[in-house]
Amino acid sequence: MFKGCAYVGESYCPLEEAKISVFDPGFNHSDSVYDVTSTWLGQFFRLDDHIARFLSSCEGFRLRCPYNASDLKRILATCVERGGVADGSYVYVAVTRGLYSSEEARRARDIFRTSPTLIAYALPYMRIADEDMQERGMRAIIATARRIPDSCVNLRCKNHHWGDLTAGKFEAREVGADTCVLLSTEGFLTEGPGFNLFFVKNDVLHTPGRNILMGITRQSVIDIATDLKLPLRVGDFPADALLQADEAFVTSTAGGVMPLAGVGPNSFAGGPGPISRQIRTEYWSRRRHGWLGTSVRDLLP
């Protein structure tokens, strides 16, 4: 049995029993949204921000979430507690379009006659890059696959439209890289599979500002940079800006702040840079001390 716990529909279950119907448009049409938060040492991190973004994503995709914010927090906390993973967990929540109300509706694929399904689960904390990889730094490429434009799918709504990101991951694997960064159709840096991007040039932090998910960990780094009085630019940057950077890192709930060792044929001198390491250390130090935390126990019924 896997360590963790899930909630599907209206009941809790072991992870291996968590299932949805193959007829759910959330499965066969990517008609769903999701969010991922985490716990560390018994505390959720920025839970209110994650819940607010999740509910905003539901609204953006015209999905009706069957629970309010308080109920969602209780469900997630219960998954964490029952799963025994409060000290370090990856906590996922999603709403799918759900089952059709009748056979007639299913045959007509009438998405206006469905009942939304909530899915949630908590399992041991997961990282895009493990500790060893973070210490030496990941190697990335700039993929030829382009990030889907905001004009097609609103990327501020966290969604399962990952075709472009998946194509980029295959490109990275084919050349022996660990991950990839995608450009917009206009040729500007955006993000990668499940993470936001930062790079440093002449001691100034830079991060893309458009055609991206507004990541919670990304915002945390912006907050840390402000506190540490590190200069920061948010905007449109071409691929060469990353290729010629002094250092770079990526951010995600799944791993926090993860330094890069190089991009494409270029390596950063000495591997992960000093600003990347400083921000990574500060991020995890703050989390250990309960920064912006919500106790799992306080949310249990």
Q: Is residue 118 part of a domain?
A: yes
User: Are both 280 and 163 inside the same structural domain?
Assistant: yes
35: tokens are: 């969010």
The last residue of a domain, from among 93, 124, 155: 124
Q: Is residue 298 part of a domain?
A: no
Between CA 200 and CA 282 the distance in angstroms is 17
**Single-letter amino acid, residue 231:** P
Q: What is the CATH number of the domain that holds 29?
A: 3.30.470.10
Torsional class of 194: left (φ above 0), alpha (ψ -120 to 50), beta (otherwise): left
User: Are both 159 and 264 inside the same structural domain?
Assistant: yes
Q: Is residue 60 part of a domain?
A: yes
User: Are both 73 and 143 inside the same structural domain?
Assistant: no
Q: Which residues pair with 142 in a beta bridge?
A: 181
Q: What is the pLDDT confidence band of residue 269, given thresholds at 50, 70 and 90?
A: confident
Q: What is the CATH number of the domain that holds 279?
A: 3.20.10.10
pLDDT above 70: percentage of residues in the chain? 100
Q: H or E segment at 170? A: helix 163-174
CA 222 from centroid of its chain's CA atoms: 16
Q: Is residue 20 part of a domain?
A: yes
In sequence order, the 6+-apart residues with CB closer than 8 A to the CB of 252 are 128, 194, 195, 196, 215, 217, 258
Q: What pLDDT was estimated at residue 2?
A: 74
Q: What is the mean pLDDT of the chain?
A: 96
Which is higher by pLDDT, 105 or 273?
A: 273
Q: What pLDDT was estimated at residue 33?
A: 98
Q: Is residue 300 part of a domain?
A: no
Q: Are 263 and 141 in contact (CB under 8 A)?
A: yes
Q: How many domains does the chain have?
A: 2
User: Are both 168 and 275 inside the same structural domain?
Assistant: yes
Q: Is the pLDDT of residue 241 over 70?
A: yes
The last residue of a domain, from among 124, 154, 170: 124
Q: Is residue 47 part of a domain?
A: yes
User: Are both 119 and 146 inside the same structural domain?
Assistant: no
Q: What pLDDT was estimated at residue 271?
A: 86
Count of CB atoms situated within 10 Å of the CB of 8: 17
Between CA 60 and CA 54 the distance in angstroms is 10
Q: Is residue 246 part of a domain?
A: yes
Q: Is the pLDDT of residue 236 over 70?
A: yes
Q: Is the pLDDT of residue 255 over 70?
A: yes
Q: What is the pLDDT confidence band of residue 291, given thresholds at 50, 70 and 90?
A: very high
Q: What pLDDT was estimated at residue 1?
A: 60
Q: Are 180 and 218 in contact (CB under 8 A)?
A: no
Q: Are 26 and 97 in contact (CB under 8 A)?
A: yes
The SS3 call for residue 84 is: coil
Mean of pLDDT values over 255-284: 95
121-148 pLDDT per residue, tens? 999 999 999 999 999 999 999 999 999 9
Q: Is residue 42 part of a domain?
A: yes
**Single-letter amino acid, residue 206:** H
Mean of pLDDT values over 72-78: 98
**73, 36, 49, 44: which is closest to 291 by C-alpha?**
44
Between CA 245 and CA 242 the distance in angstroms is 5
User: Are both 158 and 248 inside the same structural domain?
Assistant: yes
The last residue of a domain, from among 71, 98, 124: 124
User: Are both 146 and 234 inside the same structural domain?
Assistant: yes
Range of the domain at 56: 5-124
User: Are both 103 and 185 inside the same structural domain?
Assistant: no
Q: Are 224 and 279 in contact (CB under 8 A)?
A: yes
153-206 pLDDT per residue, tens? 999 999 999 999 999 999 999 999 999 999 999 999 999 999 999 999 999 999
Three-state SS sequence of 216-282: HHHHHHHHHHHHCCCCEEEECCEHHHHHCCCEEEEEECCCEEEEEEEECCEECCCCCCHHHHHHHHH
